[in-house]
Amino acid sequence: MEHKNKTMLDYIASCPEYIRKNVADSAALTKPLVDEYVNGGYKNIWIIACGSSYNGSLCARQFIRRHLRCEVKLVTPFHFVTSEHDFDETDMVVVVSQSGYSLNALDAIKVIAQKGRRCIGLTGDVNSDLGKVCDVVANYGVGRETVAYVTRGVTTLALFFMMFAVEAAARLGLKTQAQVEEVKQQLLAAADVNAAVQAQVPSFLEAHYRQLSGMTNAYVCGVGANLGTASEGALKFGETISVPTAAYEVEEYIHGPNIQMTPRYSVFLIDGGEGSARIHQIFEGSRIVTDNVFLLTNQAAYSGEENVFSVQMDLPEEITPLCWLPFFQILAYQLTTDLDRWNKHPLQRRMEKYVSSKSANYVNSPFSEDTPGRA
C-alpha cells in the first residue's frame, strides 16, 4: 500500500499539497462545523485537545479570534474531565483527536454528553470511536498519517480551524465573499512559503550541524500565533531527538527560565507579532550566554546575520505557523535519524503498554503505526 514505509519527512513534504487541496475544498470540508456553529447560536469556542492536536489548535487560535471575533479557549482533555468543564450554552465545545481513538478525548465526550450538550468531534477518521459517539463529526483533511510523530496532522488541523473561521464569518455576515477569497489566497501563499522553508532547512542544518547535533537542553520561544509553533517545536525535539525542550512565550523566557542557562543550552526564537525589535534584542542578549541561539524571521533587516534563518513572506502573522512548522519538523526528523535515536528505552515501551492512551480499536485503525520504531 502507498503509506507503507513512509517517514516523517514524507508527510512533511506533502504539506504544501495538502494546504492547496484543502483550501480548494474549504467550504465542503468545514461545513459540518460551520453549520453547527452558525445554527447553534454559539458565541465562543472551547477546543479540547492534547499533544500535537493542542499545538495545532494553538497555532490557529489567534486567527479564529481575529476573523470570527470570538474567544477561543484551549483545554487538555484530562484537565477538562477532572477540573475544568464549566462551559455554558453559548460555548461550542469541540473535541479533537487525529486518530479518533484517544481515550482522553473519548472521556471528554462523556462529560459533554452527561451535561446534555451536543457532542462535536474533529478527527482524521470519522468512522473511529470518536466519530461513532459524536452528534457532529468533521474530518479535518489530514489524510492518513501512520507515523506516530505527527507532522501533517498539525499543519492540516491549524489550517482547518483557519478555514472554519473565515467560512463561519462569511455565513454570519462578518466577512464578504471577496474578503474570504482574499484570505484563501493568503493561505495558498502560505503553502508556497512552507515549501520554501522546507527547501532551505537542509542547508541551514548543514551550516550549523555541530551546534544542532550537539543539543542537550533547548528552549523554543514564540509569541502570538507562533506560541503554537514553539510548543510543537519543543514537543518534536523532546519526543524524537530525546532532548529536554521547553516552550515559552518569548518575553517569559527571560523571566526565570533563562537563569539556568549555560553555554551548552540551545535557544530558538520565532519572530512575529508586533514584537520583532524586542525579539531581536532577546536574541542578541541570549548570545551572551550561548552561541547556540537561533532566530527564525521574515524581517529583511536581520537576514544574513549569524544563526538567523530568514524566509521572506508577506503574510499576516496569524497565518505564519503554517510556514514555520516544517523548520522544527525537519530538524527533528533528520537529527533523530543521524543520531540514531528512533529506538527509545525499553522501559518506556513497557510504560506505554501499562498506561495506554488509545482504545483497543486503535490497533486496526487507519492511523495505527506501520512499524514499532515509529520512524
Residue ranges of the chain with per-residue pLDDT less than 70: 1-4, 359, 362-375
- pLDDT tens per residue, range 3-21: 468 999 999 999 999 999 9
Give dist(CA 332, CA 319) in Å, integer: 22
> pTM to 2 decimals?
0.94
pLDDT for 1:
37
pLDDT for 369:
59
The CATH class given to the 192-338 domain equals alpha beta
pLDDT for 366:
66
**Comparing 8-175 with 192-338, is the CATH topology the same?**
yes
- pLDDT tens per residue, range 323-364: 999 999 999 999 999 999 999 999 988 888 888 777 677 656
Domain definitions of the chain by residue range: 8-175, 192-338
Angle at 43 between CA 40 and CA 49, to 5 degrees: 90
Strand order in the sheet with 44-48: 72-75, 44-48, 91-97, 120-123, 136-139
Decide: residue 200, CB within 10 A, 0-12 exposed, 13-18 middle, 19+ buried.
Answer: middle
So what's the architecture of 8-175 in CATH? 3-Layer(aba) Sandwich (3.40)
Strand order in the sheet with 266-270: 245-249, 218-222, 266-270, 293-297, 308-310
Q: What nine digits make up the cell of 278?
A: 524586542
Give dist(CA 68, CA 1) in Å, integer: 40
